Amino acid sequence: MPRTKRTTPIYKDLSYSQLRSYCEAVRLGNMSAAAESLDLSNPTVWKQIRALEHIVGVTLLESDGRRSEVTEAGQLLASLATPVVKEFEGLLNRFQELCDLTPKHLSVATPPRSFTDDLMPVICEFRQTHPDIHVTYRESFEHHGDAMLQSGEVDLVIGDSRCCLNPQKFLVEVLFEIEAMVIMPVGHPLAKRRRINPSDLAKYPVLNHPDGYPDEESNAILKRAGVFDHPDRRFNLLLASSIRSCVKQGEGIGLVGSIGGVPSSDPEIVQRTLKHCLKPNITYAYSSPRMSENPSQRLLIDLIKARLSN
């Protein structure tokens, strides 16, 4: 790694403004763009980054005036400093929230199935018990959780193992388990049986997408049993609401999830557990590591676990 010649530094101590200017220059590709983004003058950003290089003792950016090339050492520092800069940017808001000086905000993303099948009662209860916390909910689709958390678009992602491809980058907490169930219309031949196996499912058109079950081992069990090979299959559905609708129309049988195996309240549907042959689907809470936890986030997580944890 190239080292800079140590001289009397412009600034004696490492500062937030230096790290912010540096991370922004790395993100945008040059110092001029960083200056414009931060509403600073070009010389100010240049001095801050050069001062940072003097403090750490290595060259971080090699600039030709138009473009800045990040050195190996610069990449390392950027990876370490970017989370720190983001944390400092939210420090004042977090402090004011903890002191009850500003309205509390929380942004949550979760797959559509979680909204319709699991979380709505908890969402309503949370709103009633914590009217001072403004929570924004949005849908998150498969593998989108990483980008949403890293960009700061949301504070919390709630979903299964497919929501975040790189869980090691986040704080991960188990919330609840979803038991695998098979549903069928009233009067269906399987409705007379109390225990149903994957080989039984293969005798009828299954409405689910072949790769829809999140657990790979359970998905392999279903495929080995030929569950998705019936010649009359015409649907590849993912959403539980769609599967239930088609089951009631007599289009086939479907696999859905249920917390704690709670029986279906729909009089047109018969439901049987598959927990003896398929693993439960675990729902997690994903959030970005921070120096201090968002208290509103902790309140929501604790309520979800209290109401839905098996």
What is the reported pLDDT for 5? 47
Lowest model confidence (mean pLDDT) among 178-182, 205-209, 216-220, 263-267: 263-267
CATH of the domain spanning 93-175+282-308, picked from 3.40.50.2020, 3.40.190.10, 3.40.50.1970, 3.10.20.30: 3.40.190.10
Cα 242 to Cα 237: distance, rounded to the nearest angstrom: 7
Residues of the chain with CATH 1.10.10.10: 16-89
Confidence band, pLDDT 50/70/90 cuts, at residue 10? very low
Residues in the chain: 310
Residue 299 identity (one-letter amino acid)? L
Q: From residue 45, give the alpha-carbon distance in Å to each of 30, 58, 69, 188.
A: 10, 17, 16, 71
Cα 7 to Cα 1: distance, rounded to the nearest angstrom: 18
Task: Output helix, strand, coil percentages for the chain, rounded to the nearest 5.
Answer: 45, 20, 40
In tens, the pLDDT along 80-114 reads 998 888 778 777 666 766 666 555 789 999 998 88
In tens, the pLDDT along 38-72 reads 888 999 999 999 999 989 999 998 876 567 789 99
Architecture of domain 16-89: Orthogonal Bundle (1.10)
Residues of the chain with CATH 3.40.190.10: 93-175+282-308, 177-280
Cα 200 to Cα 217: distance, rounded to the nearest angstrom: 18
In tens, the pLDDT along 111-162 reads 988 888 889 999 999 999 999 899 999 998 878 899 999 888 899 999 998 8
Confidence band, pLDDT 50/70/90 cuts, at residue 9? very low
CB-CB contact of 203 with 230 (8 Å): yes
In tens, the pLDDT along 222-269 reads 999 999 999 999 999 988 889 999 999 999 999 999 987 777 788 999
φ, ψ for residue 181, nearest 5 deg: -130, 155
For domain 177-280, the question of CATH label 3.30.1280.10 is answered with: no
CB-CB contact of 149 with 119 (8 Å): no
Of the candidates 4, 95, 124, 116, the residue with the CA atom closest to the CA atom of residue 57: 4
Q: How many helices (H) and strands (E) does the chain have?
A: 12, 9
Mean pLDDT of 171-178: 94
167 has a pLDDT exceeding 80: yes
Q: Helix, strand, or coil here: 132? A: coil
